[in-house]
């Protein structure tokens, strides 16, 4: 494909998973306690999508990668200082809430509007990447909704691998039930790919890539449009951490069948 792909990656920021997260009810609704004080990282699933996008862009001449991110500008700047050294991309920033207590439909509308606003974007060459899941907005439908609002009907979720065939078709390896994979063929863009873990390691930091990205990242953050996700009609009955239960009993010389039976009975309770 001589003209290359235009790859748009949807990715948000999330609190660093090493931090202790504690739900809290605020006047504005559910949130995480001291959320703005927690260090942030790029959503791990979105990270896989971004690295796969950069790998594809290297393979196909003329391709370009955009990262569309919705989150507080201060947090986005913090994360871009790190992720910007990994792979080349152009940032499209939206200034809004990045927490998990947001409506997927509102989030999708904001992201779709930002994508439609990208200058010179050719929908016939568009590949929309994102995380199959999310460490923040784990509704599992946000990327699908973005694709539908953009009129993209070819959608693949749980993608682990993408190969470009000699005839230009896309061979896509998707996860399905039972720990198996399904191989699909897509004739041509546009298409939506929700990535699982992929096969690529996290790229090493490259200061030259970082300097190139930061020339565009800072102006993009300054131009970031406000995306107020009001959550109208969305209510939460309760927010809390999952309860932890630990029951330990030490026994000797118990047959494996008996151990399995006791475990099954415990689970049924």
Domains of the chain: which residue ranges?
6-226
Residue 107's pLDDT is: 83
**R_g (Cα) of the chain, nearest Å:** 21
Residue 228's pLDDT is: 73
Residue 15's pLDDT is: 78
Contact 128, 146 (CB under 8 A): yes
For domain 6-226, which architecture applies?
3-Layer(aba) Sandwich (3.40)
Residue 216's pLDDT is: 86
Tokens of 50: 């971004």
Residue 236's pLDDT is: 67
Helices 104-116/142-149 angle, 10° precision: 40
Contact 49, 199 (CB under 8 A): no
Residue 232's pLDDT is: 62
d(CA 215, CA 225): 19
Residue 239's pLDDT is: 66
Per-residue pLDDT of the chain (269 residues; tens, 9 = 90+): 457 899 999 988 887 777 777 777 777 666 677 777 777 888 888 889 999 999 999 999 999 999 998 888 888 888 888 888 889 999 998 888 777 677 777 888 888 999 998 988 888 899 999 888 776 656 678 888 889 999 999 999 888 999 999 988 999 999 888 778 899 999 988 999 998 887 888 888 888 888 988 888 888 888 888 877 776 666 666 666 666 677 777 888 888 888 898 889 888 87
């Amino acid at each position: 494909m001589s003209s290359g792909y235009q790859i748009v990656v949807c990715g948000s920021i999330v609190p660093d998973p090493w931090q202790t997260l504690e739900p809290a009810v605020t006047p504005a609704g559910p949130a995480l306690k001291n959320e703005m004080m927690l260090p942030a990282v790029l959503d791990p699933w979105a990270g896989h999508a971004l690295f796969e996008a950069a790998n594809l862009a290297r393979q196909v001449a003329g391709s370009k990668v955009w990262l569309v991110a919705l989150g507080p500008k201060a947090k986005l700047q913090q994360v871009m200082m790190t992720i910007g050294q990994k792979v080349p991309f152009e940032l499209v920033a939206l200034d809004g809430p990045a927490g998990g207590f947001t409506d997927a439909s509102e989030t999708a509308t904001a992201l779709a509007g930002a994508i439609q606003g990208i200058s010179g974007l050719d929908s016939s060459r568009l590949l929309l990447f994102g995380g199959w899941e999310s460490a923040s907005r784990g509704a599992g439908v946000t990327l699908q909704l973005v694709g539908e609002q953009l009129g993209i009907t070819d959608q693949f979720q749980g993608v682990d691998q993408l190969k470009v065939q000699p005839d230009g078709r896309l061979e896509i390896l998707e996860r399905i039930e039972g720990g198996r994979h399904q191989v699909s063929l897509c004739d041509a863009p546009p298409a939506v790919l929700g990535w699982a873990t992929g096969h690529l390691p996290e790229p090493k930091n490259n200061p030259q890539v970082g300097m190139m990205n930061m020339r565009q990242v800072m102006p993009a953050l300054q131009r970031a449009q406000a995306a107020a996700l009001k959550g109208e009609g969305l209510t939460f009955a309760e927010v809390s951490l999952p309860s932890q239960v630990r029951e330990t009993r030490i026994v000797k010389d118990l047959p494996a069948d008996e151990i399995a039976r006791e475990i099954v009975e415990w689970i049924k309770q």
